[in-house]
Amino acid sequence: MERRLFVVQRLTAMILAPLVIIHLGLILVAVRDGLTAAEILARTQGSVFWAIFYGLFVLVVAIHAPIGVRKVLKEWTELEDSTINSFCWMLALLLLVLGFRAVAAVV
């Protein structure tokens, strides 16, 4: 179990690295002329590329982050393993729901 989570977290990190760089680059480019909801929607609505890009982003974050948070909670708190695991499952679900909701809103 620990090994599988270790591998999955590293693999998702490898996927996240380029996605984060593109995401940050996009922010710099997008805000050059001021940022408005209309401008964002003009760029994203109907775009299959951005739908897939941010859909993948959300999915990978929802896997990567809870595994890391689980490890931090195990190291720094006295909580039971079952409590930590439940919390991390909920965190994953929350990230998925909020993330896909945001993606659905702009594509």
Which residues make up the interface to other proteins (CB under 8 A)? 2-3, 5-7, 10, 71, 75
Residue 72 C-beta: closest distance to other proteins, Å: 11
Closest CA to 26 of 66, 57, 72: 57
Residue 85 C-beta: closest distance to other proteins, Å: 12
Q: How far apart, in Å, are the Cα atoms of 103 and each of 7, 10, 53, 93?
A: 27, 24, 10, 15
- Provide the residue count of the chain: 107
Residue 6 C-beta: closest distance to other proteins, Å: 5
Smaller CB separation from other proteins, 43 or 71: 71
Smaller CB separation from other proteins, 57 or 70: 70
- Cα–Cα distance for residue pair 71/6, rounded to 1 Å: 10
Q: Which tokens in the block code for residue 3?
A: 């090994």
Smaller CB separation from other proteins, 84 or 103: 84
